[in-house]
């Protein structure tokens, strides 16, 4: 796995974004961003309405994911280029979804919407009309998704990476600073977790740091043992999807799972150990 | 915890990391409740800057959160009490930085001219 397998740059998108067999998809935290302007030809996926089960706390199921992509006009053999705001935060989450349901030809636009906007590249409001397809999703790939029991069993044994901000890690905040402070019952982190805020993997323009810088960040600075399996978590599993992308897709770590239940689940469980205070 | 500080202002935030409130400002009359709100607008020559980003950095200079500016150049954060730095990025290499402090129950207003 190398960067060119999982990332494209703006020049590539300008040249190939509307080639047959290529589908641009915008996924934003700010779900209204798309309607204000998007890259020409891009369709939208709403991380919440489209990707989450409307009743249970879980993802859309295999059939639901297939129906969604069919309706958006995405085929099994299309190359999907994802991008979004905030350092590709939610685009990385969607990337993880595509991989979870077995779609291998998927890449991120490095830097996402922010870099594109800061470089004053073209955004349009025309919504493309794509003919429906019949997309068939595969079974979920359980090798990249962790559940709560695995997170508890990993304490003191595997790498646990808490990718929230230092204030959330310490228990002083329960949510990122641009959202109202609510959610889990208790603040803190899973014991033995290392705190590497997800955003440290990105440069200010939203593009990813170099492989060497990333290896130093997680290895030398944070003390992750690259010989061990890793579980990443945040609050609801999207920022940790970004870190999953870095560790698994960019650095090629073999066994990395995203614990999507994350702190909103763990911090509300009865009886599990919690550590508070700053990282060591 | 109630979100009475920002009725409807969190957009589609709901139970997730939904849309940042970007453009919709709390009114002056709004009570921040138990939140430590930092909000304001970014302007250039008196006009709103609708395309750009506001980032919140902690006292160590580390990135904490980022929101796209609203159409009125607006931004909002729900911070912890303490000292922060607000950094604005906009097309054309525009950058600006301001020190700001946040307190529980207080809406701290910041007008940023770039």
Q: Does domain A143-266 have CATH number 3.30.230.10?
A: no
Determine contact: A164 vs chain B, CB below 8 A.
no
pTM for this prediction: 0.86
CA distance A77 to chain B (A): 30
Provide the 10 A C-beta neighbour count for residue A216.
13
* pLDDT tens figures, A75-85: 999 999 999 98
Rounded to whole angstroms, the Cα distance separating B19 from B1 reads 19
Where does CATH 3.40.250.10 sit in chain A? 3-140, 143-266
Kindly list the catalytic residues of A: 234
> What is the mean pLDDT of the segment spanning B50-62?
89
Confidence of residue B29 (pLDDT cuts 50, 70, 90): very low
Q: How is residue B102 annotated by DSSP?
A: E
- Measure in Å the smallest separation between the Cα of A89 and chain B Cα atoms: 10
Report DSSP state, residue A216. Answer: I
Return the residue matching tokens 């595509």.
A98
For residue A202, give the chain B residue with the closest CA.
B63
Residue A182, chain B, CB below 8 Å: the answer is yes
Alpha-carbon gap, residue A245 to A223, rounded angstroms: 19
| ipTM associated with this complex | 0.72
Mean pLDDT of chain A: 93
- DSSP state, residue A193: -
Asked if A168 contacts A279 with a C-beta cutoff of 8 angstroms, the reply is: no
Residues in B 64-93 with any Cβ partner in A closer than 8 A: 64-68, 71, 76-80, 89-92
Buried b / exposed e over B29-59, threshold 16 CB at 10 Å, is eeebbbbbbbbbbbebeeebbbbbbbbbbbe
Q: Residue A180 has what pLDDT?
A: 65
Q: Do B17 and A176 touch (CB under 8 A)?
A: yes
Over residues A223-229, the mean pLDDT reads 95
pLDDT class of A1 with cuts at 50, 70, 90? low
CA nearest A172: which of B11, B74, B62, B78?
Answer: B78
Q: Chain B partners of A172 at a C-beta cutoff of 8 Å?
A: 80
Mean pLDDT value across residues A126-143: 97
pLDDT higher than threshold 90 for residue A22: yes
A147, A181, A148, A163: which is closest to A239 by C-alpha?
A163
Nearest residue to A241 via CA among B53, B17, B22: B17
pLDDT of residue A167: 85
A62 sits in which H/E element: helix A62-71
Per CATH, the number for A3-140 is: 3.40.250.10
Residues from chain A that touch B91, judged by Cβ atoms under 8 A, are: 117-120
> Do A215 and A124 contact (CB within 8 A), yes or no?
no
Architecture (CATH level 2) of domain B36-113: Sandwich (2.60)
CB contact under 8 A, A180 and B34: no
- The residue ranges of every structural domain in chain B are 36-113
């Amino acid at each position: 796995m190398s960067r060119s397998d999982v990332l494209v740059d703006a020049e590539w998108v300008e040249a190939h974004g509307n080639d047959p067999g290529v589908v641009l998809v915008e996924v934003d935290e700010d779900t209204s961003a798309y309607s204000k302007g998007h890259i020409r030809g891009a369709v939208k996926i709403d991380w919440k309405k489209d990707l989450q089960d409307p009743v249970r706390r879980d993802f859309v199921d295999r059939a639901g994911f297939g129906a969604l992509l069919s309706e958006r006009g995405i085929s099994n053999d299309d190359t999907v280029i994802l991008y979004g705001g905030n350092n590709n935060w939610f685009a990385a989450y969607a990337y993880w979804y595509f991989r979870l349901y077995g779609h291998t030809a998927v890449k991120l636009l490095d830097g996402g919407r922010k870099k594109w906007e800061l470089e004053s590249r073209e955004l349009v409001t025309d919504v493309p009309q794509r003919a429906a397809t019949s997309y068939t999703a595969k079974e979920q790939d359980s090798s990249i998704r962790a559940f709560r029991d695995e997170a508890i069993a990993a304490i003191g044994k595997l790498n646990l990476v808490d990718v929230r901000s230092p204030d959330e890690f310490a228990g002083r905040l329960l949510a990122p600073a641009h959202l109202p402070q609510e959610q889990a019952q208790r603040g803190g982190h899973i014991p033995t977790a290392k705190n590497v805020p997800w955003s440290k993997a990105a440069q200010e323009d939203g593009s990813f740091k170099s492989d060497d810088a990333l290896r130093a960040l997680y290895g030398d600075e944070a003390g992750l043992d690259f010989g061990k399996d890793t579980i990443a978590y945040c609050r609801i599993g999207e920022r940790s999807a970004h870190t999953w992308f870095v560790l698994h897709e960019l650095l090629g770590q073999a066994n990395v799972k995203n614990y999507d239940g994350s702190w909103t689940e763990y911090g509300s469980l009865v009886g599990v150990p919690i550590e508070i205070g700053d990282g060591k | 915890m109630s979100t009475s500080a920002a009725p409807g202002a969190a957009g589609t935030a709901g139970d997730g990391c939904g849309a940042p409130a970007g453009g919709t400002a709390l009114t002056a009359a709004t009570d921040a409740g138990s939140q430590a709100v930092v909000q304001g607008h970014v302007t250039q020559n008196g006009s709103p800057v609708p395309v750009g980003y506001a980032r919140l950095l902690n006292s160590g200079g580390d990135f904490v959160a980022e929101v796209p500016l609203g159409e009125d150049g607006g931004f909002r954060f729900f911070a912890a009490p303490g000292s922060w730095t607000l950094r604005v990025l906009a097309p054309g290499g525009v950058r600006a930085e301001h020190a700001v402090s946040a307190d529980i129950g207080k809406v701290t207003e910041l007008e940023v001219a770039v």
